[in-house]
A = this chain, B = another copy of it.
């Protein structure tokens, strides 16, 4: 047994050393000084107007296409409540974010799992399913530094996916909380920005760029869809936290977010390098693709590896990771995640 401090590879949770604590305190002080009326009063369910406008500018869309929520999971929940009825077919990537699986299963969606490849969802397999008669209403896509796989959807596949969505009337749910955390390679355009047919609804979050405890996320979509989500949000909680959003707004507009992102990227880059070097040195049989950004790396271990036993043994040594099986409807027995990738 090791006496070292515990090491968690379990979730994409920013450690406090990469949160811009002083800048957040300063942003809070300024936000509450400058706009007490906006921060302390009831707002409306679209969110704190200056932050909504800032987000709209980032995406080059009208503010009416944006709704700010208490974290992006809440945005997902509203979206699924609005668009997914029991029995509706929803495309998911395999593997995919375990909480998304749970949310969709809780809505009794009929999940159509399409394999994820190092350059993103297998668009050939998706095209085949669509030609074979599958009629999905929604396709959930994590385009950048996938959770849990670490993969990024290529530009070519972004275009293919949009063509398929347009031709078959599928709404693409672009779930993109990690986009700002690229530490290598070139940033790719969002599906939202490439979309010509109104097929995309986009979600992101400030959890990885400001801090997770603030709980601020958002959706960008067609105005009519956002209006429906707005009604649902009003009836659920009147408005998201105006105090939290006023702080995020000040953090973004002051430029603190840019230095925060730079800090996070440097740290994640170094951590990825340390992890991949250790894997190569200590586990030569492990296969993985090094991600170009974000929090996740997927490791394939040799056929027959007992990942459950490995998780227990690692836990006894203070090391935790999430088993690959958690990210599939079925299968994934000899894979695991933390910093993940599949070859």
In A18-77, the 8 Å CB interface with B consists of 19, 21, 24-25, 28-29, 32-33, 36-43, 70-71, 73-74, 77
In A231-260, the 8 Å CB interface with B consists of 235-244, 246-247
Given the complex of chains A and B, what is the CA–CA distance between A28 and B32 in angstroms? 9
B residues within 8 A CB of A243?
Answer: 28, 211, 213-215, 241, 243-244, 247
B residues within 8 A CB of A38?
Answer: 213
Cβ contact within 8 Å between A73 and B238 = yes
- Pick the interface stretch among A98-106, A300-308, A317-325: A98-106
Cβ contact within 8 Å between B24 and A213 = no
Which residue of B24, B29, B214, B241 is within 8 Å of A214 (Cβ)? B241
Interface: A332 (CB within 8 A): no
Cβ contact within 8 Å between A41 and B240 = no
Cβ contact within 8 Å between A73 and B241 = no
A12's nearest neighbour on chain B, judged by CB, is B42
Interface: A3 (CB within 8 A): no
Interface size class of A (residues with CB under 8 A): 35 or more
Cβ contact within 8 Å between B19 and A40 = yes
A25's nearest neighbour on chain B, judged by CB, is B32
Interface flags for A78-103 (1: CB within 8 Å of B; 0: not) read 00000000000000000000010011
Cβ contact within 8 Å between A215 and B240 = yes
Interchain Cβ contacts under 8 Å between A and B, 9 examples: A16-B41, A29-B29, A38-B213, A40-B213, A70-B215, A73-B236, A99-B235, A215-B237, A241-B243
- A261 shortest CB reach to chain B, Å: 16
Cβ contact within 8 Å between A71 and B238 = yes
B residues within 8 A CB of A42?
Answer: 11, 13, 207, 212-213
B residues within 8 A CB of A212?
Answer: 40-42, 238
Q: A103-B235, A215-B240 are in contact. Are A36 and B19 (CB under 8 A)?
A: yes
- A193 shortest CB reach to chain B, Å: 27
- A91 shortest CB reach to chain B, Å: 21
B residues within 8 A CB of A33?
Answer: 25
In A289-315, the 8 Å CB interface with B consists of none
Given the complex of chains A and B, what is the CA–CA distance between A76 and B294 in angstroms? 36
Which residue of B13, B74, B213, B239 is within 8 Å of A39 (Cβ)? B213
B residues within 8 A CB of A214?
Answer: 40, 241-243
Given the complex of chains A and B, what is the CA–CA distance between A59 and B11 in angstroms? 35
